[in-house]
Amino acid sequence: MSLIRYKEKRDFKTTPEPGGGKSKGGSLIFVIQKHAASRLHYDFRLEMEGVLKSWAVPKGPSTDPKTKRLAMMVEDHPYDYKDFEGSIPKGEYGGGTVIVWDQGTYEPIEKIEGKKAQEKYLLKHLKEGSVKVVMHGKKMKGEWALVKTHQSENSWLLIKHKDNYASDADITEKGKSVVSGKTLEQIEKAMAPKISTGNTTVTKTSSKKVTVKKVVASKSSATKKTVAKKPVTKSSKKKA
Ligand code: MN
């Protein structure tokens, strides 16, 4: 319910991550983000009580019911995080690029009508350490369970139930964002800071490659030649 921990960890002057957001629509939503932080992982988030209950899944989901994936519960995230795709600056909490790997609606396996009643039911089961859901995503479909373990306070397992969507194919090979159609690497490139210097546009890529695009100068600008010394980018959000 509370986003205190979420807010404490972040500096909203620096990070482009959302600060809040109100639940919309008649169905509960989920999002899974692929996040290239210091270590690549997937963030599994289920809407409950107006926020996104969140787990970091180092290896991502497996559609093979025999392969249980560790999921570490982390702080609640705001509802608007469901659409967050972009770069968290280096040095900030979770610094690195994020894509919306999957998105959709979900419901408890138990047939319960209405969002409010579903949430109440899910919250009770969350407290008890076992959440069973049906997911209606682009990649994630069918029944899944999150089960708390006794390993440590925040450790859970993400498990695929045996149903028509169970498969031994590796679902994480579907690497593109369901929002932009881009891979993590493509977003990273697009987010690299562009510094405009006179007639040339320098695109710094993460791999230290520097691409220099010559801007064809029109006659008038070539004769006037007003050189702006400072990089004009006011948005010095140092997107890493
Ligand atoms: Mn993350």
Per-residue pLDDT at 86 exceeds 60: yes
Interval between CA 225 and ligand 1 midpoint (Å)? 46
pLDDT of residue 204: 45
pLDDT digits (tens, 9 = 90+) for 35-62: 999 999 999 999 999 999 999 999 999 9
Per-residue pLDDT at 216 exceeds 60: no
pLDDT digits (tens, 9 = 90+) for 2-47: 899 999 999 999 999 999 999 999 999 999 999 999 999 999 999 9
- Both tokens assigned to 80: 């608007």
Interval between CA 37 and ligand 1 midpoint (Å)? 7
Interval between CA 206 and ligand 1 midpoint (Å)? 19
Per-residue pLDDT at 237 exceeds 60: no
Per-residue pLDDT at 224 exceeds 50: no
Strands 210-214 and 200-204: antiparallel
What is the full DSSP assignment across 48-108?
ETTEEEEEEETT---S-TT--EEEEEEEEEEGGGGG--EEEPTTSTT-EEEEEEEEEEEEE
Interval between CA 32 and ligand 1 midpoint (Å)? 10
For 178-190, what is the mean pLDDT? 93
Per-residue pLDDT at 164 exceeds 80: yes
Interval between CA 56 and ligand 1 midpoint (Å)? 6
Q: Is residue 25 within 8 Å of 42, Cβ to Cβ?
A: no
Interval between CA 184 and ligand 1 midpoint (Å)? 13
Per-residue pLDDT at 227 exceeds 50: no
pLDDT digits (tens, 9 = 90+) for 193-206: 655 554 444 444 44
Interval between CA 72 and ligand 1 midpoint (Å)? 10
Higher pLDDT, 100 or 217: 100
Interval between CA 197 and ligand 1 midpoint (Å)? 34
pLDDT of residue 132: 98
Residues 6+ apart with CB under 8 A from 128: none
pLDDT of residue 1: 55
Longest dimension (CA), the chain: 73
Interval between CA 36 and ligand 1 midpoint (Å)? 8
